[in-house]
Amino acid sequence: MRAVLLGPPGAGKGTQAARLTERFGVPAISTGDIFRANVKGGTPLGVKAQEYMNAGQLVPDEVTNAMVRARLAEDDAAQGFLLDGYPRNPEQAVELDSMLADLGVELDVAMEITADFDEVTQRLLKRAEIEGRADDTEPVIRKRLEVYATSTAPLTAFYAGRGLLVQVDGLGEIDEVTERLVAAVAR
């Protein structure tokens, strides 16, 4: 399976990706996780990404696209992947198409986990208390949601237009949402 996961910050993409990766036997590739690991390790990529992340803005496309292109070329992604957090704007979506064309493969599905902004804001504020992520503060959450609404939400129509979109309600128990996703993909 070759899939992208869409949905606002706090919708549960990372949580669900970790579960779906086991179900489908393909790696979950989270751009946010890769960036955070690089920030933590103090790599040049991390240094470039950090200020954007802390401001709730997208890391520049040329940085992100190169990183994803390299990741998708790794052996474990040859049989499939679940992309979490990429693409995040129409330019990245076009770039993903070009990467997949170069690899000679196609996307099977775009799964969107829906959740309203009030709900996700509450979840992220709660997560802040547990994980202490630098971007889980109220002003940065607001900015991330703004960026989501402006840049990422249009991807729903983009993938729907290709007949690749499935939408699943992100409210409810974690297990329930997983089952909804699995069922939606099987359809």
Amino acid symbol at 102: D
Q: What are the structure tokens assigned to 104, written together?
A: 């000679």
Question: Would you call 71 a catalytic residue per the annotation?
Answer: no
Question: Would you call 180 a catalytic residue per the annotation?
Answer: no
Q: Choosing from 48, 69, 133, 143, which is the catalytic residue?
A: 133
Closest CA to 141 of 56, 31, 54, 33: 56
Question: Would you call 13 a catalytic residue per the annotation?
Answer: yes
Nearer to ligand ADP, 55 or 103 (CB): 55
Backbone torsions φ then ψ of 112, nearest 5 degrees: -105, 125
Q: Choosing from 36, 88, 123, 180, which is the catalytic residue?
A: 88
User: How far is Cα 61 from Cα 73, in angstroms, rounded to an integer?
Assistant: 18
Q: Which residue is nearest to ligand ADP (CB)?
A: 32
Please report, as ranges, the residues that interact with ligand ADP according to CB under 6 A.
9-10, 31-32, 35, 52-53, 56-59, 64, 85-86, 88, 92, 135, 144
Nearer to ligand ADP, 41 or 163 (CB): 41
16 in Cβ contact with 178 (< 8 Å): yes
Question: Would you call 2 a catalytic residue per the annotation?
Answer: no
